[in-house]
Amino acid sequence: MVNLDIDFSKCSYCMDCVELCSAHALLFNAITGQFYFNPDNCTYCEVCLDVCGVEAIILSD
């Protein structure tokens, strides 16, 4: 199963990854301040990887 981790020492919370994930697999809850990843929705398109300019996203399977 696909797993997604974010390196918070690099993340600038720009939200580009969340906004461009058309599968809605990667979400951000502004109230809790946390990202949520749903592997069932992820299509492994790697758009989030490509858009993250600081390379904070780690996708693995």
State the minimum distance, in angstroms, from the CB of residue 31 to ligand SF4: 17
**Which residues 6+ apart lie within 8 Å of 40 measured at CB?**
25
Phi-psi region of 33 (alpha: psi -120 to 50; beta: other; left: phi over 0): left
Fill in the DSSP letter of residue 59. E
State the minimum distance, in angstroms, from the CB of residue 61 to ligand SF4: 10
State the minimum distance, in angstroms, from the CB of residue 55 to ligand SF4: 8
- Residues engaged in binding ligand SF4 (CB under 6 A): 4, 6, 11-17, 21, 23, 25-26, 42-48, 51-52, 54, 56-57, 59
CB closer to ligand SF4 out of 33 and 47: 47
